[in-house]
Structure 1
Amino acid sequence: MTKKLTLGLLSACAFAGAAHAGGFTRGEADTDILYEDGTAVFRGGYTYVMPDRAYDTVRGAAGTDDAFTDSYGIPSFAAKFQISENFSCALTYTQPFGASSTYGTQAQAADRATDIAVAPTSRTALLGGNAVKEASFDTNEYGGTCAVNFAAGPGNIHFIGGVFSQSFDYSESKTFGTLEMDDSSAFGYRIGAAYEITEYALRAELMYRSQVDHEADGTFTSNSPLSFAGIPTGSKLSATGYGSLPQSLELNLQSGVAPGWLVFGSVKWTDWSVLQTLNYNITSLGDQQKNFFWKDGWTITGGVGHTFTDTVSGALSLTWDSGVDTGADIVTDTWTVGAGTLVKAGPGVLRLGGAVSYLTSGEQVVNGTQGADFNATADGDWAYAVTASYKIAF
């Protein structure tokens, strides 16, 4: 069995499968590169995800808008340097969290109608309601992670730790204006441990990634005259906001079970309950908030891989991701089938993967504690992802 080729198998399909995991999860730092052979190892890749979530009903009427979820890409880069026989470090880059939605005319009309119905004498209602047109945020993570390993029994034990800097950029376009805020850098850390027996393609790894707290500032640009505050069209007002992105803990397991065969699995807990609201203040307009009220998420993956030749391997995986919504929006359970191949090509190794996700049905509700912008339901929908990366080792 080609041990190192088999050990790299799971990433080819698991990375594409995880790209549409729960909440706002996107990419993961490629710390697996720490296990690769070579004094210097470089890997770069890109994943493209195409979700297709649309409203089936809006305020009780059949949905007519196109899907409100936007497609997105996830870049990834990692460089590992073997400093000594038992010590190595990696530099990594990815986009760990993000979201992008564009709402159609029916959803915008429902949003404005809810403003008027819920608080008919409010300033927002008197101006005809304030609907979300587009909303998005992006994060960028730049990290450094090191590992030290020692012989232990038939294998090696690894202790892993590192720090990272994460940026946050938020944009929301509504009827009254456009809000843009950013936090150029907030810091977090990751720590973990692993045990590996290369002879059997066996590895068990536990990795923790810390919560990151962001404090952002920016501007609000008015799209219409806000007469109640004496703000003419085109005015730029200062804005500040704060919120947290979650900590997570993940257990990864893999083992050879027969010549050329590998089984793998993982369990990941993500503390999405930390994201209750995004809070911000706009000068002259006061405190605002965007509701989420999410609960913690779980992601469970299992799969099998096979080495066909000394140069070609393949893998299949199945992932279940628990929904995190509680009614303010529709972020439901997801089932994903991923497939990947790993091919020795030229001076390096090419990984290709793809995934198909089924998004289960759900609903969002205005009344009670749910806090949705408008009542809506979604039937089962689909998402698709493709990924490619290339590794060179020296």
Structure 2
Amino acid sequence: MKVALTAASALMLSTYAAHAGALDRTGQSVAVLFEKGRYAEFSFGSVSPSVSGVGTAGVGGGSSGNMSEDYLQFGAAYKADINDTWSYALIFDKPFGANVDYPTGTGYFAAGSTAEFDSNAITGILQYNLPTNLSFYGGIRLQTIAAEAVIPFVSGYSADGDRDFGVGYLAGVAYEMSDIALRVSLTYNSKIEHELDTVETSIALGGPNASTTPVDTPQSLNLEFQSGIAKDTLLFGSVRWTDWSEFEITPTNYQTLTGGGSLVSYNGDIVTYTLGLGRRINDTWAVAATVGYEEPIGGFTTNLGPTDGQTSLGLAATYTKGNMKISGGVRYVMIDTTETRAGAVAPAGIFRDNDALGFGIRIGYYF
């Protein structure tokens, strides 16, 4: 019962099957660290956002069309015990990302603008387990990122930032009571500094012009919890704070062209809340449901990231057979209204009634 319910809840707490705030795509969970014995898992997710807006009179009106492309997510993890005291885990994920593609021929001022942000991370974690149900853990995260953008309405601007490697760390503490499936963990993820070698071109400044663009992926704090509340019933949830107010992508020429503007930046930090309920149906099947919420930051968003705040609903099921468990889930995200700015024009675009639909599957095996 505990294995099946935990699998369903872990799937729903993963954000690869959703459309999280800012560039967040996985939530950087360390739940695999608490699997029993030696364990490996592989995950796959597919997300289909629908994000469109309408231009105001100041930019000539027009509808943007869906500017957010579908994307896929992949992940893998391995966990093992060294002895009764020490455990370790290795995690691969794609923690941050963006896929922007404004359709052409719409009459919208940003038509033809594209952008992509890609990341890959490998995290190694070592856990020290005390006999008092308390554990401490920490590790190193190795990460690469790359970014590119084409912004026709800003002097025919384009930028290509080469992939860069950076190193960060994480540290956490957890408390468990296995007889009632209780676990509470608190994990800090450090920011990771990057320096992207960037080539920029534009009509006004010519090019190609070489520069270096600093990009720091944000620090964050994850609180994850679960507890049995009745026979075959598990309450679980998470709170994730991410320091997006300190994140920006500001290439040198773009800053000059826009009088200090950034390709991507955010007006404040984002806190994501998730609460769910899991239920064992029989020895083979368990199900879970969640609700999630992100409060809007407010203010104007950039044209490459016109989302701010959301509410989500999710369902998952886990099938357990022998040493294998297979979990599948779906999450529907309702994205709040936001407005963008274009130079001195604010608002330039109004984005409302948008949503996203995500599917995910995870296959785990105990050795």
Q: TM-score, normalised by structure 2?
A: 0.89
Partner of residue 24, structure 1: 23
The 1:90/1:31 distance shift into structure 2, 3 A limit, reads same
The 2-side partners of 1:79 and 1:17 are apart by: 18
Answer with 1 or 2: which has the greater Rg. 1
Q: Superposed, which structure 2 residues align to 1:164-243 within 5 Å?
A: 164-175=141-152, 176=156, 178-220=158-200, 226=203, 231=206, 236-243=208-215
Q: Which amino acid aligns with 1:208?
A: Y
The 1:103/1:35 distance shift into structure 2, 3 A limit, reads same
Q: Which amino acid aligns with 1:268?
A: R
Deviations 1:36-82 (A, max 9, x none): 122x3110101111110100344466643321011111111001121
343-352 or 252-261, larger mean C-alpha shift: 343-352
Give yes or no for contact 1:143–1:163 (8 Å, CA) kept in 2: yes
Deviation at 1:108, TM superposition (A): 7.2
Give yes or no for contact 1:240–1:282 (8 Å, CA) kept in 2: no
Deviations 1:17-39 (A, max 9, x none): 7731211100144521221122x
The 2-side partners of 1:385 and 1:311 are apart by: 25
Give yes or no for contact 1:337–1:356 (8 Å, CA) kept in 2: yes
Partner of residue 121, structure 1: none
Partner of residue 34, structure 1: 33
Matched, 1:357 2:327: no
Give yes or no for contact 2:325–2:365 (8 Å, CA) kept in 1: yes
Q: Which amino acid aligns with 1:204?
A: V
Deviation at 1:92, TM superposition (A): 0.8
The 1:174/1:311 distance shift into structure 2, 3 A limit, reads same
Partner of residue 71, structure 1: 70
Deviations 1:272-291 (A, max 9, x none): 1102x3222359x8887425
Structure 2 unaligned segments of length 5 or more: list them: none
Q: Which amino acid aligns with 1:160?
A: Y
Partner of residue 114, structure 1: none
The 1:246/1:30 distance shift into structure 2, 3 A limit, reads closer
Structure 1 unaligned segments of length 5 or more: list them: 112-130
Partner of residue 142, structure 1: 122
Partner of residue 229, structure 2: 257
Q: Which amino acid aligns with 2:2?
A: K
Calculate the aligned-residue CA RMSD, in Å: 2.5
* Residues paired across the two proteins, number: 357
The 1:134/1:20 distance shift into structure 2, 3 A limit, reads same
Kindly, what percent of the aligned residue pairs are identical?
26
Give yes or no for contact 2:312–2:334 (8 Å, CA) kept in 1: yes
Partner of residue 344, structure 1: 320
Picking from 354, 359, 365, the partner of 1:386 is 359
Deviations 1:2-27 (A, max 9, x none): 22322333112222577312111001
The 1:205/1:18 distance shift into structure 2, 3 A limit, reads farther
The 1-side partners of 2:93 and 2:46 are apart by: 13
Partner of residue 249, structure 2: 278
